Structure 1
Amino acid sequence: MKPAAALPRKELETKLLISRWLTLGSYFGLLAALLASITIFPLPEESRLWVILAVLWLPLLGFLPGLLSKNPRVHAWLCFVSLVYFMHGVTTFILPGKAGLGALLALLSFTLFSAAMFYGRWRGMQLRGAILED
């Protein structure tokens, strides 16, 4: 695979800033939407809120330290995990009365996938020194 061409420093920093904010926004938005999905719609009586929340949140929360440390590998792995939440959003979308929630989950997970992928790529370029001086 051919390495990516170097980018000018200012352009790379702008792309990193935008993709970082999109990644963090969609990450925390997805956590909030998952919490809203189990609190707005009633759960079966025998289910425990904290168990369902743990199953939904733990795969995402495992990536939080790496996201905060700006690790490009963590961002790349987060892309794979976000696809599970995309599938959850699409299947929720077809349920009667939950189309809005499903669309929100799918949109947030797609945004998370795209932004984390771009951030991981550009941050890796920055760490390798693939920067053109202005």
Structure 2
Amino acid sequence: MMVKKRSGKVLVVEDNELNMRLFCDLLGAYGFTTFQCRDGAKAVEIARKELPDLIIMDIQLPEVSGLDITRWLKDDKKVAHIPVLAVTAFAMRADEQRVREAGCEGYLSKPIQIASFIRAVEALMPKEPAA
């Protein structure tokens, strides 16, 4: 699948080293700048500092749920506008509903398929990335 190179900043919140590397390598190959966060509690702080165009959020994090972090982001006026793509091993219909109710604009189940991942990122990425 050929996707034109894009610019934009993506915060990846993921505690699994292999998934983190996969997501960042894929995003980098398509021209995106990535910021990594393995600790969910720091995700809001990084989002406020870097103002990414998109946040990719693992739902199963060790200290705090990705759903809680998404709620915190959506309650913060400075970063509430940033779309959140949930990427999770939860794959039941009710799980997607819970993810969307928490404020995530997109949902992908793991293991990801590369084409679907890139399409989801493209769909949620603002047309004009932040400066």
Give TM-score, length-normalised by structure 1.
0.27
Q: Which has the larger radius of gyration?
A: 1
Greater relative contact order (CA < 8 Å, ≥ 6 in sequence): 1
Task: Report which of the two has the higher share of helix.
Answer: 1
Task: Report which of the two has the higher share of strand.
Answer: 2
Give TM-score, length-normalised by structure 2.
0.27
